[in-house]
């Protein structure tokens, strides 16, 4: 009688741990993409996130935009062109500092920094 009870308890604990790890691994950070800015309309925003966080770019305003990510001078990723109301997601699996720009508007008009750190 004790063995089935112990097995049920062990399975319940294992299931709870698996669910906790899945939730921790699926962290999302929202970034607003407005007309000629990321996050806010003044300054160059910088966010710090943990490795494996998904960044969800939410396109607002009236103009089309894209999202290009550079580490140093090397382009690491690029989105398609998106329009107001669209959403694009990028899971940040590599650590480091990334310069994010809208290639349509150029880095002088629309850029931000994402620092990805160890979880």
Write out pLDDT tens, residues 3-62.
Answer: 654 554 544 565 544 444 444 557 999 999 999 899 988 889 999 999 999 999 999 999
- 16 assigned to some structural domain: no
Q: What span, in angstroms and rounded, lies between the C-alpha atoms of 58 and 46?
A: 17
Q: Is 35 a member of any domain?
A: yes
Residue 18 lies in a domain: no
Q: What pLDDT is stored for residue 40 in this prediction?
A: 86
| pTM assigned to the model | 0.77
Cα distance between residue 46 and residue 115, in whole Å = 7
* pLDDT greater than 90 at residue 2: no
Q: Is residue 1 part of a domain?
A: no
Whether 22 maps to a domain, the answer reads no
Our count of domains for the chain comes to 1
User: Is residue 12, in this structure, part of any structural domain at all?
Assistant: no
- Is 3 domain-assigned? no
Residues 6+ away with beta carbon under 8 Å from 55: 28, 29, 30, 31, 49, 89, 90, 91, 92, 114
pLDDT tens digits along 80-102: 999 999 999 999 999 999 999 99
Domain that holds residue 60: 27-117
Output the domain CATH number for residue 75: 2.60.40.420
Specify the 3-state DSSP secondary structure of 17.
helix
């Amino acid at each position: 009688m004790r063995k089935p009870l112990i097995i049920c308890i062990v399975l319940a604990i294992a299931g709870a741990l698996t669910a906790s790890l899945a939730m921790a691994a699926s962290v999302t950070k929202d970034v607003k993409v407005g007309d000629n800015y990321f996050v806010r309309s003044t300054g160059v925003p910088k966010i710090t996130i943990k490795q494996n966080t998904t960044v969800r770019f939410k396109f607002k305003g009236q103009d089309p935009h894209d999202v290009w990510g550079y580490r140093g001078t090397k382009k690491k990723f690029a989105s398609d062109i998106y329009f107001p109301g669209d959403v694009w997601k990028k899971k940040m699996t590599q650590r480091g500092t990334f310069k994010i720009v809208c290639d349509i508007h150029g880095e002088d008009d629309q850029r931000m920094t994402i620092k990805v750190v160890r979880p």
